[in-house]
Amino acid sequence: FALACFLCLLCARVAAGEEHSSGSGRIVAVADLHGDFDHAVDILRAAGLAEVDDSDAKAVAGDGLPYDRYRGVRWIGGNATLVQTGDIVDRGDFARDLYKLFSELRRQAPEAGGRVVNIVGNHELLNLQRDLRYVSPGDNAAYGGAAKRKKAWAADGELGRQILEEFEPLDVVGDTLFVHA
């Protein structure tokens, strides 16, 4: 199902010839974060794109579970375009926190004239297809167990919907094509 959705999105984007301009801002691309929240934050800070809350106060998701590392984020990238080229998930323990962080950045960036794009990676597709061989025990624990994680990654689950509705199979910024390879 997920692969079919991905292919439909890809064909629709290519057929429509959609292009998104980054305006006069700079373009920053980041690949394959694989659940590594701390290094992702270091990259966003070094690029001058985000201020991340380091307080001890735990942020809590709508399901009542607290995030392990995510406390809050503020877009400071102005009119920059941030392209994350997929594979936020698997191998590391903090993918759930990263999806929340990027969801907030996607919401906030346009208010400052910026843009955040998330590209679907093969590990997002693997999870949507229930191929969980790369999921860490810590990632399962972040959701309150493997069953709750599977529910969140279902096509109608919190993360499954986010991937299918808000992530892109590809994106063109100016004259540059971004894909997960």
Active site residue ranges = 123
Q: Which helix (H) or strand (E) holds 15?
A: helix 2-16
How far apart CA 126 and CA 139 sit, in angstroms, is: 15
Token duo for residue 72: 């809050």
Question: What are the C-alpha distances in Å from 163 to residues 26, 31, 153?
Answer: 25, 16, 9
> What per-residue string of b and e applies to 113-148 under the rule 16 or more CB within 10 Å gives b?
ebbbbbbbbebbbbbbeeeeebbbeebbebbeeeeb
Which residues is 73 bridged to in the sheet? 52
How far apart CA 127 and CA 154 sit, in angstroms, is: 9
